[in-house]
């Protein structure tokens, strides 16, 4: 990248000092420390975006202090154009996003040096060209105006040089007594450079303590594999090779590590062209409905604490079927737990039949013993080496809760004089029983290195800003060990430093640039003779080819597994009203809290509950009945009853949400909410559930008691409000309509009746009179649409897992605003593509299916006829185009849209666009916008355009080369990011195009085809593959 390595902190500093005495007045200092102008911190309701925006502009007045991005050293206008930059033409760079103990390869789109869009790297094993919601939204984090802009000492503005000199003093002292009293608390990482620096650090300070903590991690998986094999291993699953999959509370399609490759593999195993093909079968046992549970052919709900017993019962059944599982000798399934023996037998038979082509996978929330047993089962089924590969783990700092506990112990006994917290936010997310905050007060010099001045920073002597991964050098390994270099897309916006740079400083006392550190590490992997060439190759490719780590064949230690299992089984208890089970899980929006200040993610509805902007306590309908609770639907809004959760002497109050399919007597709460110092988006959103979480039971535990409170709390849900289930009229109608809206059949039904999806469509029109496409004849001369490109889309409901990635990708690509909780409560969310979630069956054991719905680009578009000013019209390529400039905003088109995919700018959701209220404009948030897409002003309608800007750029490219646009050249944002490749887009007029061929499939159907609006988007009906032994007919 460019050499704009100026020092932001000192530049801002200098500028103000030149205003001589002004900077020294106490009033001025107060303003500076506040960081935001008057009333910023007084905002009582920080999630009201309108407040937030009105504060933005004023904050910018202070941007010159520390946040100015203009290089002091040199400013070069494009008078002489840089060779590689064509203004207006986007450039794409490969990089990687570190995430826990894995990494996702990225391709980042930049416009004139400004990153605007993140997508998956097609060649990277972790992303395969797709990107999940967190990856998509990471670009918004880069431009988060609340990121910390300056080094803070005791909460007051300081500077990087000040920090460096302070550290040098400490360094000199610690190096003398080998680091005694020095400790580092880091997040987990898998990075050769960080690992090298960690080793060097521990070499320089042999008596220093290093602990690694992650609130949500695969620690239990690693522990379990260590228990079973004695080795630290990374499991890599090949779902595409599996015919039968049993998930023991593993949400491998969504929150699990490497969810993209899992989702791709899983959906590849279900991709069916004709009724002759076969597909895999998924069994899921879980307490809370997850995305993976919704994809299951058979789902079993049970408390998380009973999963171990279930696993043991399955292992016994496997042994009985001839696949002898080690590690069970002397362990009995605890009596008193009702297990579905028929289910277990059927699963075991299926798994044994699919020997070598099955997968048993347990969720990271399950204790290590379960993972050890699962390892033994997979081994017995000969799945190891075929569908599951175990690899060694290299260059990693793996999370370890007991290390954190030991560190806290040391801190409490004042054995830690200096603590460096490298990333993470332990004051917020450390287990409540450790009381990290209190322990931290015993540390003389606490240094917190993080992107935001957060809860932990406020308790530390020093806060040092950390750079975003898109603005720093680094390296990572994917789950299979593949190496990538993280290269910056932009200079640090707020002058922050990377963890590599900080760790170098800690280790050596001198400043080393991240670039140099990474290159130094990579001299290991790249031959010195050819270093520059290979280095460039790696940067260009985004990964080092063939750097995956080899598979290993571990040995199983049956006795160790059996011993551990015995203890676990003894502890299993029966949940009931007076002994409920609390289940913690990462939020689908904020994950562990790290994305709390990301508006896109906060507004992204949970895949299952469809709740945005809050976390809720999920309980089953049966439990709710016993507690005399119901969904608090009033005037179309959820005013949810509050519940007091009491667990191990701690309590929190949370709104309830009755979740179909939730295990009885369990309460599931999402982590990552209730932040106090996340920033203006995330502060005060939801309830901090870490307050209940202990180090001994981080994911689930019994002993929860609940008490109903006399309060309600408004919850914003984008679909059904969960409460329609309580209104018989509506729920009956939904149940009646769902099968025709979202068509599905079992594989068996499909084979019997291959045309089930299109069978029940009755089109109006002249009976018997059909045109050449088999469409009813109209009394009008319809436009032919048979020339040139005719764009269309196909969405495979059998592949869609409802993961929301498309929604965020579309938001990023198309500059879709965030509207805030108040507006979502009113039903004014702006997402162009939404994921409709339908329940089928009973409230306790429902099936869940998803349907992505965006503008269907009807040929007989009802919206076009009613617009009085012709602001929405058809183009000759079949696009239903929206002319923002012409729109008056009557909303008639939205009323007349049968799919309700049109979104209206009820208020000025993009500040400054209407020409007044300019002062509301958040300058830095403008940088995230795609310059190829109009930013809509208030009062205009908007909707999915089929990414018309991408069609245009493909057209320009084709025209320049004097050819037609090739099939697959235009990829919509939703299609590009879809982990399961459920969406296909292309030219319907080309019979050879993928989309045209897919639409020939017998599962193809049009949504609401009976209206004869002729949508250009069609769906492939969903299929389930139930086990005939477990007769559970699929509705519809």
- Residues contributing to the site for other proteins (CB under 8 A): 635-637, 719-720, 724, 727, 729-730, 733-734, 736-738, 741, 823, 826-828, 834, 836-838, 851, 853, 862, 865-870, 886-892, 894-896, 898-900, 902-908, 937-941, 1007-1008, 1011, 1013
Across-strand partners of 791? Answer: 987
User: How far lies 550's CA from each of 142, 240, 298, in Å?
Assistant: 35, 20, 34
Which structure tokens are listed for 870?
A: 């012709």
Give Cα 742 to chain centroid, integer Å. 25
Torsion of CA 212, 217, 220, 221, to 10 degrees: -110
Question: What stretch of H or E contains 960?
Answer: helix 948-960
**In this complex, which beta carbon is closest to other proteins, that of residue 868 or of residue 991?**
868
**In this complex, which beta carbon is closest to other proteins, that of residue 436 or of residue 838?**
838
* Distance between CA atoms of residues 1026 and 581, nearest Å: 30
DSSP collapsed to 3 states, 537-571: HHHHHCCCCCCCCCECCCCCCHHHHHHHHHHHHHC
Residue 656 CB, nearest approach to other proteins (Å): 20
Give Cα 996 to chain centroid, integer Å. 32
**In this complex, which beta carbon is closest to other proteins, that of residue 111 or of residue 902?**
902
Instruction: Give yes or no for a contact between 327 and 565, defined as CB atoms under 8 angstroms apart.
Output: yes
Query: Residues 190, 194, 198, 200: is their CA dihedral positive or negative?
Result: positive
Residue 587 CB, nearest approach to other proteins (Å): 22
With both helix axes pointing from N to C terminus, report the angle between 160-176 and 8-17 in degrees, rounded to the nearest 10.
120
Which structure tokens are listed for 290?
A: 């997850």
Residue 822 CB, nearest approach to other proteins (Å): 10
Residue owning tokens 């309509």: 737
Instruction: Give yes or no for a contact between 390 and 552, defined as CB atoms under 8 angstroms apart.
Output: yes
Residue 641 CB, nearest approach to other proteins (Å): 19
* Distance between CA atoms of residues 881 and 869, nearest Å: 14
**In this complex, which beta carbon is closest to other proteins, that of residue 336 or of residue 764?**
764
**In this complex, which beta carbon is closest to other proteins, that of residue 113 or of residue 898?**
898
Residue owning tokens 């245009």: 952
Torsion of CA 963, 968, 969, 971, to 10 degrees: 150
User: What residues contact 300, with CB distance under 8 A and at least 6 apart?
Assistant: 283, 284, 285, 286, 310, 340, 343
Q: 263 by DSSP, 3-state: which? A: helix
**In this complex, which beta carbon is closest to other proteins, that of residue 255 or of residue 804?**
804
**In this complex, which beta carbon is closest to other proteins, that of residue 144 or of residue 836?**
836
* Distance between CA atoms of residues 571 and 1, nearest Å: 56
Q: How many CB atoms lie within 10 A of CB 1012?
A: 16
Residue 501 CB, nearest approach to other proteins (Å): 45
Burial (0-12, 13-18, 19+ Cβ within 10 Å), 822: middle
Instruction: Give yes or no for a contact between 926 and 888, defined as CB atoms under 8 angstroms apart.
Output: no
Which structure tokens are listed for 312?
A: 């043991």
* Distance between CA atoms of residues 237 and 1023, nearest Å: 23
**In this complex, which beta carbon is closest to other proteins, that of residue 665 or of residue 904?**
904
* Distance between CA atoms of residues 565 and 552, nearest Å: 25
Q: Rounded to the nearest 5°, which phi and psi values hold at 228?
A: -80, -35
Residue 858 CB, nearest approach to other proteins (Å): 10
Residue 818 CB, nearest approach to other proteins (Å): 14
**In this complex, which beta carbon is closest to other proteins, that of residue 333 or of residue 855?**
855
**In this complex, which beta carbon is closest to other proteins, that of residue 555 or of residue 736?**
736
* Distance between CA atoms of residues 271 and 801, nearest Å: 13
**In this complex, which beta carbon is closest to other proteins, that of residue 386 or of residue 726?**
726
**In this complex, which beta carbon is closest to other proteins, that of residue 860 or of residue 989?**
860
Question: What stretch of H or E contains 300?
Answer: strand 298-301
Q: How many CB atoms lie within 10 A of CB 935?
A: 17
**In this complex, which beta carbon is closest to other proteins, that of residue 76 or of residue 762?**
762
Across-strand partners of 95? Answer: 106
**In this complex, which beta carbon is closest to other proteins, that of residue 477 or of residue 837?**
837
Residue 985 CB, nearest approach to other proteins (Å): 22
**In this complex, which beta carbon is closest to other proteins, that of residue 6 or of residue 938?**
938
Residue 730 CB, nearest approach to other proteins (Å): 7
Residue 1007 CB, nearest approach to other proteins (Å): 8
* Distance between CA atoms of residues 685 and 336, nearest Å: 41
Residue 750 CB, nearest approach to other proteins (Å): 24
Residue 849 CB, nearest approach to other proteins (Å): 12
**In this complex, which beta carbon is closest to other proteins, that of residue 522 or of residue 904?**
904
Per-position DSSP letters for 659-707, written without gaps between them: -TTPPTTEEEEESS--BSSS-TTTBT-S--GGGG--SS-SSEEEEEEEE
Burial (0-12, 13-18, 19+ Cβ within 10 Å), 490: buried
Residue 943 CB, nearest approach to other proteins (Å): 11
Residue 832 CB, nearest approach to other proteins (Å): 12
Residue 140 CB, nearest approach to other proteins (Å): 23
Residue 721 CB, nearest approach to other proteins (Å): 8
Residue 891 CB, nearest approach to other proteins (Å): 3
- Intra-chain end-to-end CA distance of the chain, in Å: 56
**In this complex, which beta carbon is closest to other proteins, that of residue 254 or of residue 838?**
838
Output b/e per residue, 19-38; b: 16+ Cβ within 10 A. eeeeeeeeeeeebbeebbee
Residue 637 CB, nearest approach to other proteins (Å): 7
């Amino acid at each position: 990248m460019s050499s704009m390595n100026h020092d932001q902190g000192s530049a801002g500093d200098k500028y103000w000092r030149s205003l001589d005495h002004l900077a020294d007045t106490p009033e001025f200092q107060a303003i500076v420390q506040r960081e935001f102008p008057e009333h910023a911190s007084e905002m009582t309701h920080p999630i009201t975006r309108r407040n937030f925006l009105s504060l933005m502009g004023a904050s910018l007045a202070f941007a010159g202090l520390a946040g100015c991005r203009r290089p002091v050293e040199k400013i070069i206008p494009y008078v002489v154009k840089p060779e590689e930059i064509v203004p207006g033409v986007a450039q794409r760079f490969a990089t990687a996003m570190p995430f826990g103990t894995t990494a996702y390869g990225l391709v980042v789109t930049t416009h004139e040096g400004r990153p605007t869009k993140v997508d998956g790297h097609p060649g990277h094993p972790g992303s395969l060209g797709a990107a999940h919601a967190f990856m998509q939204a990471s670009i918004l984090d880069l431009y988060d105006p609340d990121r910390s802009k300056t080094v803070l000492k005791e909460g007051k503005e300081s500077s990087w040089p000040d920090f460096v000199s302070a550290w040098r003093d400490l360094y000199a002292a610690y190096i003398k007594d080998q680091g005694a009293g020095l400790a580092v608390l880091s997040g987990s990482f898998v990075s050769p450079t960080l690992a090298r620096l960690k080793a060097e650090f521990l070499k320089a300070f042999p008596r220093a303590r290093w602990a690694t903590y992650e609130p949500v991690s695969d620690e239990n998986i690693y522990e379990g594999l260590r228990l079973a094999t004695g080795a630290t291993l990374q499991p890599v699953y090949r779902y595409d090779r599996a015919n039968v999959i049993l998930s023991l509370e593993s949400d491998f399609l969504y929150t699990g590590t490497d969810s993209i490759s899992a989702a791709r593999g899983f959906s590849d195993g279900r991709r069916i062209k004709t009724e002759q093909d076969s597909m895999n079968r998924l069994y899921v046992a879980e307490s809370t409905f997850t995305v993976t549970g919704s994809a299951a052919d058979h789902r079993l709900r049970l408390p998380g604490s009973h999963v171990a017993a279930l696993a043991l019962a399955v292992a016994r059944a496997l042994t009985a079927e001839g696949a002898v599982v080690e590690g069970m000798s002397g362990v009995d399934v605890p009596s008193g737990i009702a297990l579905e023996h028929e289910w277990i037998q059927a699963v075991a038979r299926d798994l044994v039949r699919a020997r070598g082509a099955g997968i048993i996978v347990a969720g990271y929330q399950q204790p290590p013993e379960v993972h050890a047993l699962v390892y033994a089962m997979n081994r017995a089924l000969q799945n190891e080496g075929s569908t599951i590969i175990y690899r060694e783990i290299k260059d990693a700092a793996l999370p370890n809760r007991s290390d954190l506990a030991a560190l806290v112990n040391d801190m409490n006994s004042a054995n830690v004089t200096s603590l460096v917290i490298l990333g993470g936010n332990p004051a917020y997310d450390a287990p409540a029983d450790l009381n990290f905050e209190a322990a931290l007060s015993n540390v003389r010099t606490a240094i917190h290195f993080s992107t935001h001045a957060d809860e932990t920073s406020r308790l530390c002597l020093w806060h040092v800003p950390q750079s975003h991964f898109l603005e720093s050098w680094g390296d990572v390994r994917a789950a299979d060990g593949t190496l990538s270099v993280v290269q910056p897309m932009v200079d640090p916006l707020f002058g922050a430093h990377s963890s590599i740079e900080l760790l170098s400083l800690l280790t050596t006392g001198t400043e080393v640039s991240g670039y140099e550190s990474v290159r130094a590490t990579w001299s290991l992997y790249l031959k010195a003779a050819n270093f520059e060439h290979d280095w460039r190759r790696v940067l260009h490719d985004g990964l080092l080819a063939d750097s995956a780590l080899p598979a290993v064949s571990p040995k199983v230690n049956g006795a160790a597994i059996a011993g551990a299992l015995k203890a676990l089984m003894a502890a299993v208890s029966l949940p009931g009203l007076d002994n409920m089970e609390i289940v913690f899980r990462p939020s689908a929006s904020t994950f562990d809290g790290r994305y709390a200040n990301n508006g896109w993610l906060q507004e992204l509805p949970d895949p299952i509950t469809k709740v945005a902007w809050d976390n809720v306590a999920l309980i089953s309908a049966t439990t709710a009945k016993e507690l005399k609770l119901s969904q608090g639907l009033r005037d179309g809004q959820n005013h949810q009853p509050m519940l007091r959760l009491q667990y191990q002497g701690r309590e929190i109050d949370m709104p309830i949400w009755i979740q179909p399919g939730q295990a009885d007597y369990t309460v599931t709460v999402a982590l990552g909410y209730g932040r106090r110092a996340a920033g203006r988006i995330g502060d005060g959103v939801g309830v901090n559930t870490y307050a209940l979480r202990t180090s001994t039971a981080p994911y689930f535990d019994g002993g929860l008691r609940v008490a109903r409170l006399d309060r309600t709390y408004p919850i914003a849900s984008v679909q059904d409000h969960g409460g329609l289930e309580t209104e018989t009229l509506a729920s009956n109608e939904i149940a009646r309509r769902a099968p025709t809206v979202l068509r599905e059949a079992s594989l068996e039904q499909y084979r019997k009746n291959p045309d089930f999806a299109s069978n029940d469509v009755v089109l109006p029109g002249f009976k018997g009179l059909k045109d050449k496409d088999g469409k009813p004849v109209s009394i009008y001369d319809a436009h032919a649409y048979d020339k040139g490109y005719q764009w269309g889309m196909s969405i495979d409901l059998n592949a869609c897992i409802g993961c929301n990635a498309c929604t965020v990708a579309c938001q990023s690509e198309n500059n879709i605003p965030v509207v805030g909780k108040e507006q979502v409560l009113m039903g004014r969310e702006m997402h162009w593509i939404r994921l409709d979630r339908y329940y089928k069956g009973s409230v306790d054991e429902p099936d869940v299916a998803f349907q992505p719905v965006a503008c269907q680009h009807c040929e007989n578009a009802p919206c076009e006829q009613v617009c009085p000013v012709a602001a929405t019209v058809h183009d000759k390529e079949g696009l239903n185009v929206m002319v923002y400039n012409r729109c008056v905003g009557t909303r008639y088109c939205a009323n007349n849209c049968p799919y309700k995919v049109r979104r209206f700018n009820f208020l000025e959701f993009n500040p400054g666009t209407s020409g007044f209220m300019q002062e509301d404009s958040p300058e830095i948030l403008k940088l995230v916008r795609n310059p190829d897409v109009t930013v809509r002003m208030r009062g205009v309608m908007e909707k999915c355009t089929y990414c018309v800007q991408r069609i245009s750029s493909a057209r320009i490219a084709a025209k320049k080369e004097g050819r037609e646009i090739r099939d697959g050249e235009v990829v919509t944002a939703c299609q590009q990011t879809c982990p399961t490749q459920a969406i296909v887009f292309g030219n319907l007029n080309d019979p050879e195009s993928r989309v045209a061929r897919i639409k020939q499939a017998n599962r193809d159907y049009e949504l609401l085809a009976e209206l004869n609006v002729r949508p250009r988007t069609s769906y492939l009906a969903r299929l389930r593959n139930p086990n005939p032994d477990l007769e559970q007919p699929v509705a519809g």
